Amino acid sequence: MVILIFALASCKKNNNVSPSNPNSGNPTQQQPMTLRGADLSYLPEIEQAGTIFYDSTGAATDPLTIFKNNGCNTVRLRLWYQPATVHSSFPEVLAFANTIHQAGMKVWLDIQYSDTWTDQGNQAKPASWANLSTQVLEDSVYQYTKRVVAAIQPEYVQIGNEINDGFLWNNGKVNNTSTFIALLDKGIQAAKTADGSTQVIIHFAGYKSAFWFYRLLQSNNVNYDIIGISYYPWWHGKDLNVMEDSLSRLSSTFNKKIVIAETAYPFTLGWNDLTNNVVGESSQLISQYPATPDGQKNYLLALRNVLSKDTNNLGFCYWEPDWVAFKGPQATNGSTWENLALFDFNNKALPGMAVFNK
Distances (CA, A) of 18 to 126, 241, 260, 287: 45, 8, 19, 15
Q: For residue range 235-284, what is the model confidence (pLDDT) as tens digits?
A: 999 999 999 999 999 999 999 999 999 999 999 999 999 999 999 999 99
Rg (CA), the chain: 21
Classified as helix, coil or strand, 37 is strand
For residue 23, the 8-state DSSP code is T
| Spans of all domains in the chain | 35-356
pLDDT of residue 175: 97
As a whole number, mean pLDDT of residues 76-98 equals: 98
pLDDT at 32: 79
Amino acid 21: pLDDT: 42
pTM for the structure as a whole = 0.91
- Which residues make beta-bridge pairs with 109? 77, 157
Q: What is the DSSP string of 131-147?
A: T--HHHHHHHHHHHHHH
Residue 304's alpha-carbon distances to 70, 211, 260, in angstroms, are 15, 22, 10
Phi, psi (degrees; rounded to nearest 5) at 252: -70, -35
The pLDDT of residue 9 is 35
110 sits in the region (left: phi over 0; alpha: psi -120 to 50; else beta) called: beta
DSSP class of residue 6 equals H
Q: How confident is the model at residue 67 (pLDDT cuts 50, 70, 90)?
A: very high
Give the pLDDT band of residue 322 (cuts 50, 70, 90): very high
What amino acid positions are annotated as catalytic residues?
162, 262
Helix (H) / strand (E) containing 159: strand 156-159
Q: Give 3-state DSSP helix, strand, coil % of the chain, rounded to 5.
A: 40, 15, 45
- pLDDT at residue 30 in the model: 53
> Rounded CA gap, 15 and 76, in Å?
35
Quickly count: other Cβ atoms within 10 Å of residue 7's Cβ.
10
Q: Contact 268/339 with Cβ under 8 angstroms?
A: yes
Q: What is the structure's pLDDT at 329?
A: 97
The SS3 call for residue 110 is strand
Q: Does residue 170 have a cis bond before it (omega within 30 degrees)?
A: yes
Architecture of domain 35-356: Alpha-Beta Barrel (3.20)
